[in-house]
Amino acid sequence: MHESPGSNGNLIATFRDAGTGEILWSVPGTRDTGRGAAGDIDPRYAGAEAWNISDGGEWNTVAGYLHTADGTLISNNIPAANFVTWWDGDLLREIGDHAWDGNTRNGVPTISKWDYENEQSVEIYRAEGTLTSNDTKGNVALQADLFGDWREEIVTRLDDSSALRIVTTIDLTAHRLRTLQSDPVYRLGVAWQNTGYNQPPHTSYFLGEGMATPPAPSITYVGSGVSTPELTKPVVTITSGGGEASTADPVVATGTASPGDTGWKEDKAVVYAELQNSAGAKVVGLSVPVTDGEWTATFDVSGFATGSYTIKVSASSKGMGNGSATAPLTLTSGREPGPATGVPGQGVLRNDNWDGDGEYVVTMNMWWGQNAWAIDLYEDGTLVQSTDLTDATPQAQSASFAISGKGNGSYVYTAVLSNQHGKKSTLPMTVNVTTANPGDSVLSHDNWDGDGSYKVTMNMWWGTNATSVKWYENGTLVSEQPLLANGRNAQSATLPVSGKWPGVYTYRAVLVNAQGETASAPLSVLVNRP
């Protein structure tokens, strides 16, 4: 950062080769630029990002220049250009700053996550009861990796300056790295905070998304070989709330939660619940308390688009990744009540599976009674189709569902009629599929002269069609041919054979479709001359 751009060709920020001082890229401007920082805050770009406030901007402005390591401008929205810290469980750096009170000229230390998709800072920790120092510069007393793993602690003064408080993260991490104080360059950065200009410490190697394993330090750890007990993370489960729901009613999700050994985030017995769209983006988020190990989250979905959603809950709001659980949710349109004054009448199911081939229609008829506004069809206890109905009480109602691709077997169907007053199930109906596999075929040949050159013909005179035929000669597959399926009409195929030496050759044709296979009876062909 440059305070006197008039003396350097009007550059307010430069990125240089550390060995030669060569300017690799720069930001032009004419006025003093007092704030800038660098750190890996956006995983979409390799290496660290660098940002500075706008030309002549106030110290706390969020307008400026955010660049990649190669100088590509990412955005003119920036996080606080103050301190950066490794705080949560990922490899990106978080933003150290303060909540400034201009009246008292004091600030409360804060740590934020840079939301690179929405280009804004999201506060994840505030050190209430403590203050920063150095007026608007707003630094904590010290930032360093003091204990534990590689994440950093902050040392702050109490708001009456009577003592120092050391604060550490409670976030778990999947990344195992050596403590940062193993690096001499990092130790220098810890020291310069109180002996020189107050800037954040950095490692001599790149620590961020996509990093390589840093070299081992030439040190021996005190207590090496002593095992550390494993800590269990918080556990959150969803016990209800997924499935299907209408936008006409709130979605209520319930579940259980336990803090594990690591405890609740910020000592608050809460879970964070989100409703996410099909792309995984948060649509609405809630923070709900945990009481006696149980939680309940209520989502107002009025006005939401119908379709697929996911309910996700976690013991931590950051990344929704700490002890999280998910449940799929399908939202259907809200319905206006019709004239029905009670639960739907009794429906009756029938089907047209007269040929047993796995292609049929299930029809529900409700001959009299209160009308339904929707019907759900279940196959073997699983919801397979749904449709809305028009409530025209007291007229009869009917709904049909096309079923296809069923293999041989028995399928039990029930339908549930519903309206604003409740639900009514039909009696179960069983559909037996017996001819889903291709029909039986018959083989013939024309080798009347026994000379070793002949044709084997397959005819399937009537039945469920095949989409291909496999030819076997003496138990070995010798050919596969596609067939055109045409309902239950006849099908035929021919296998040309030539060059057979005297002997007996046995053939089978296996008809194939999506539901299964049907083999013909064997056909033997005698060859008595070459």
For residue 202, tell me if it sits in a domain.
Answer: no
Q: Do residues 137 and 55 touch, judged by C-beta distance below 8 A?
A: no
Indicate whether 39 belongs to any domain.
Answer: yes
Shared domain for 169 and 59, answered yes or no, is: yes
Question: Last residue of some domain: 308, 332, 356?
Answer: 332
The number of residues making up the chain comes to 530
3-state secondary structure of 517: strand
Same domain? For 325 and 363 the reply is no
Q: What are phi and psi of 366, to 5 degrees?
A: -115, 105
- β partners of residue 255: 238, 295
**351 Cβ partners below 8 Å, 6+ apart?**
360, 361, 362, 363, 413, 429, 431
Distance CA 290, CA 50 (A): 41
- Give the number of domains in the chain: 4
- CA pair distance 185, 205, nearest whole angstrom: 9
Per-residue DSSP letters for 246-304? ETTS-EEEEEEEE-TTT-SGGG--EEEEEEEETTS-EEEEEEEE-BTTEEEEEE--TTP
Distance CA(77)–CA(61), nearest Å, equals 9
Local confidence pLDDT in tens for the 530 residues of the chain: 888 888 888 999 999 998 899 999 999 999 988 889 999 999 999 999 999 999 988 889 999 999 999 999 999 999 999 999 999 999 999 999 999 999 999 999 999 999 999 999 999 999 999 999 989 988 999 999 999 789 999 999 999 999 999 999 999 999 999 899 989 999 999 999 988 878 999 999 999 999 998 888 877 666 666 666 666 777 889 998 888 888 777 789 999 988 776 666 555 678 888 999 988 888 998 888 888 889 899 898 876 888 899 999 887 655 444 667 888 998 887 777 889 999 999 999 999 999 899 999 999 999 989 999 889 999 999 888 988 899 999 999 999 999 999 999 999 999 999 888 888 999 999 999 999 999 999 999 999 999 999 999 999 999 999 999 999 999 999 999 999 998 889 999 999 999 999 999 999 999 999 999 999 999 999 999 87
Give the tokens for residue 346: 């009794």
Which amino acid does the sequence have at 148?
Answer: G
Residue 244 and residue 264: Cα distance in Å, rounded? Answer: 31
Q: Per DSSP, what are the bridge partners of residue 143? A: 154
Place of tokens 């005179």: 461
In a domain, 408, yes or no: yes
258 and 315 in a single domain? The answer is: yes
> What is the rounded CA–CA span in Å between residue 433 and residue 439?
13
Q: In terms of domains, do 90 and 172 share one?
A: yes
CATH of the domain at 274: 2.60.40.10
Could you tell me whether strands 94-101 and 106-115 are parallel, antiparallel, or unpaired per DSSP bridges?
antiparallel
Q: Is the domain of 133 the same as that of 246? A: no
236 strand-pairing partners? 257
Q: Please say which residue of 433, 461, 487 terminates a domain.
A: 433
User: What's the order of all strands across the beta sheet hosting 360-366?
Assistant: 348-351, 360-366, 397-403
Report the pLDDT value the prediction gives residue 325, as an integer from 0 to 100: 83
How many CA atoms lie within 13 Å of 491's alpha carbon, on the beta-carbon side? Answer: 26
Measure the CA–CA gap between 362 and 348, rounded to whole angstroms: 10
> Does 210 map to a domain?
no
User: For residues 69 and 48, is the Cβ–Cβ distance under 8 A?
Assistant: yes
Beta bridge partners of 96: 83, 111
- Report d(CA 206, CA 204) in Å as an integer: 7
Are both 415 and 446 inside the same structural domain? Answer: no
pLDDT at 227: 62
d(CA 89, CA 314): 15
In a domain, 340, yes or no: no
Q: Would strands 235-240 and 251-258 be described as parallel, antiparallel, or unpaired?
A: antiparallel
Q: How far apart are CA 338 and CA 322, in angstroms?
A: 45
Q: Same domain, yes or no, for 186 and 267?
A: no
Instruction: Report the C-alpha gap between 360 and 411 in whole angstroms.
Output: 12
Query: Which of 171, 195, 219 corresponds to the end of one domain?
Result: 195
Distance between CA atoms of 242 and 237, rounded to whole angstroms? 12
Q: Domain containing 308: what range?
A: 235-332
Rounded to the nearest 10°, the torsion over CA 201, 206, 211, 217 is: -80
Give the residue from 510, 497, 509, 504 showing the smallest Cα distance to 526.
504
State whether residue 198 is helix, strand or coil: coil
Largest CA distance in the chain: 114
In a domain, 514, yes or no: yes
In a domain, 306, yes or no: yes
Same domain flag for 128 and 268:
no
Tokens found for residue 123: 């506060």
Quote the tokens at residue 216. Answer: 């081992």
Question: Does 52 share its domain with 113?
Answer: yes
In this structure, are 34 and 102 located in the same domain?
Answer: yes
How far is it, in rounded angstroms, from Cα 74 to Cα 78? 10
Please tell me whether residues 494 and 424 are part of one structural domain: no
For residue 332, the one-letter residue type is T
Residues 187 and 270 in one domain: no
Q: Please tell me the distance from the alpha carbon of residue 84 to that of residue 143, in angstroms, as a whole number.
A: 10
Q: How many CB atoms lie within 10 A of CB 233?
A: 17
Residue 323, sorted as left (phi over 0), alpha (psi -120 to 50) or beta, turns out to be left
In a domain, 302, yes or no: yes
Contacts of 220 (CB under 8 A, 6+ apart): none
CA-CA distances (angstroms) from residue 224 to 220, 227, 231? 8, 9, 19
Q: What is the pTM of this model?
A: 0.44
Note whether 370 and 419 are within 8 A (CB). yes
